[in-house]
Amino acid sequence: MPRALINLDPAAALADVNRRTFGAFVEHLGRCVYTGLHEPAHPAATPEGFRRDVADLVRELGVTTVRYPGGNFVSGYRWEDGIGPAASRPRRLDLAWHSTEPNEFGLDEFMAWARMADVEPILAVNLGTRGLQEALDLLEYCNVAAGTALSDRRRANGAADPYRVKMWCLGNEMDGPWQIGGMTAHEYGRLAARTARAMRMIDPSLELVACGSSSSAMPTFGRWEREVLAQAYDDVDFVSAHAYYQMHDADLASFAASPVDMDYFIDSVVATCDHVGAALKSRKRIMVSFDEWNVWYTDRAESKPPAGDDWPVAPRLLEDRYCLADAMVVGGLLICLLRHSDRVRSACLAQLVNAIAPIMTEPGGPAWRQTTFHPFALTARWAKGRVLRGSIRSDQCETARFGGVDSVDAVATLDAETRQLALFLTNRSVAEAAEVEVGLAAWPGARVVEAVQISGDPSWTASALDQTWVAPRPLGDQALDGTTLKLRLPPVSWAMARLAL
């Protein structure tokens, strides 16, 4: 049975828990927007046509930011198509997902929806088919108070106050050959720098994200970041990272250890940023915006876009159904993101509704929670205060993809205000339960308030009819022995323990 010893020291804090770690992503893709966020004919629709049941689940999930409108979609999008009277908006081909975009939902609807769902909007500009001028126009429409052509157009469209969007993505996955208007790192770095400089002439306080790599497996990974930042280091605040994981060839052990790749990815991006910074003799630190991450079964039929003459509106696309092992991996990836809170200052689970999403809907029917909903909701709710730099010594388990990896992974957060400690853990071993001992010598009076687990048949999958089986259950196998918390984690499981100090 694998054993792990964790020691926590309140004096060794890594960084604040950044609320933007719990962001998500909404793209005009499949049914994410249409019959996801927006379905005017649904019984739960607001007067604006937003599904109230979905917004309720978004709040329950604890999402803090939402990146919009893409994704690959943004690289062919004309944002002006989505504003003004709905009846006169054009229908367009969406080349990224071989669909028809009806433009019934656009920028103003998204901003109204974000207000209703209580999330901070993050916008992406189109640097694929468009460029600097379009970015400036969009920024003027959104953030200038009044008295210019585009700000007055926003006001005429019903939004008297500026949206004051702080965070902007300069394009999407511009390193990808699949991206409309994809570029070399040099071309993109120049364009990102020029666009950023011009946007800051309107508002110097914007937070700007340059595109990093679409995955750590991209042949240009590392060189891409170095070249883009060589051009744009002084002009941007973040570089993005995207990663999707899936189980290959029924290899559950390697899949369960997916956060090992995310660790490597983040560490490499940070090293590259700091290398460029050092070469430029800059004291500025570039942060990482992990603005797409999730489990995604890219090879399944669900992910094949329509083809030929078929350009449907909001087809069922990327509607992956997640199993318990997927939930455990999502929980593990969140542990990894939190562990890098000093440099990962923003992250977006991709996506939010229907397309590779924790929330699913049926048109005219219910909205329901996938298995992956639960670890996200619990982490977003209870990871508060400071992330502790704990030490973990764990036995290893073997994986085909990563070799020997720690069986147990964990992160802890300490909320000084409420005097609560939250511990998030996974057992990646596919065969054995793990015995974990957590040293709490710094808090002699600590007591366990809640301990829950997600465990059981790794292949169990939720549906609209049964979303409860995988709901977190009490972790019975835990006890405080003096100042040592002892936990027994089942194989392929995720767990959370909260202590009052």
* Residues with catalytic function: 173, 292
- Indicate the residue among 98 and 419 with the shorter CB distance to ligand AHR: 98
Binding part of the chain for ligand AHR, among 64-72, 255-263, 329-337, 466-474 by CB under 6 A, reads 64-72
Least distance to ligand AHR from the beta carbon of 9, Å? 38
| DSSP string over 156-172 | HTT--S-----EEEESS
Instruction: Please give the residues from 242 up to 301 whose contact with ligand AHR meets the rule CB under 6 A.
Output: 242, 292
**Contact call for residue 27 and ligand AHR (CB under 6 A):** yes
Least distance to ligand AHR from the beta carbon of 351, Å? 6
Binding part of the chain for ligand AHR, among 67-75, 130-138, 365-373, 428-436 by CB under 6 A, reads 67-75
- Indicate the residue among 172 and 371 with the shorter CB distance to ligand AHR: 172
Instruction: Please give the residues from 179 up to 218 whose contact with ligand AHR meets the rule CB under 6 A.
Output: 214
Cα–Cα distance, 344 to 353 (Å, whole number): 24
With CB under 6 A as the contact rule, the residue among 94, 134, 173, 175 that binds ligand AHR is 173
Cα–Cα distance, 347 to 130 (Å, whole number): 25
Least distance to ligand AHR from the beta carbon of 172, Å? 5
CB 125 within 8 A of CB 191: no
**Contact call for residue 406 and ligand AHR (CB under 6 A):** no
With CB under 6 A as the contact rule, the residue among 351, 413, 429, 453 that binds ligand AHR is 351
Cα–Cα distance, 157 to 131 (Å, whole number): 24
What is the β-pairing status of strands 287-295 and 344-350?
Answer: parallel
Least distance to ligand AHR from the beta carbon of 97, Å? 8
CB 43 within 8 A of CB 87: no
Cα–Cα distance, 477 to 425 (Å, whole number): 14
**Contact call for residue 30 and ligand AHR (CB under 6 A):** no
- Indicate the residue among 360 and 436 with the shorter CB distance to ligand AHR: 360
404, two tokens: 């020997």
Counting Cβ atoms within 10 Å, is residue 93 exposed (0-12), middle (13-18) or buried (19+)?
exposed
Cα–Cα distance, 359 to 238 (Å, whole number): 28
**Contact pattern for ligand AHR over residues 361 through 400, marking x by CB under 6 A:** ----------------------------------------
- Indicate the residue among 337 and 388 with the shorter CB distance to ligand AHR: 337
CB 65 within 8 A of CB 120: yes
CB 353 within 8 A of CB 37: yes
With CB under 6 A as the contact rule, the residue among 35, 65, 172, 427 that binds ligand AHR is 172
Spell out a b/e string for 215-240, using b for 16 or more CB atoms within 10 Å of the CB, else e: bbebeebbebbbbbbebbbebbbbbb
Binding part of the chain for ligand AHR, among 65-73, 118-126, 128-136, 224-232 by CB under 6 A, reads 65-73
Among 159, 173, 54, 42, which residue's Cα sits nearest to residue 111? 159
| Three-state SS letters, 380-394 | HHHCCCEEECCEEEE
Least distance to ligand AHR from the beta carbon of 261, Å? 16
Least distance to ligand AHR from the beta carbon of 173, Å? 5
User: Residues in contact with ligand AHR, total (CB under 6 A)?
Assistant: 11
**Contact call for residue 350 and ligand AHR (CB under 6 A):** yes
Least distance to ligand AHR from the beta carbon of 471, Å? 26
**Contact pattern for ligand AHR over residues 95 through 134, marking x by CB under 6 A:** ----------------------------------------
CB 326 within 8 A of CB 372: yes
Least distance to ligand AHR from the beta carbon of 162, Å? 27
Cα–Cα distance, 77 to 221 (Å, whole number): 26
Among 41, 30, 47, 42, which residue's Cα sits nearest to residue 101? 30
Residues that bind ligand AHR (CB under 6 A): 27, 70-72, 172-173, 214, 242, 292, 350-351
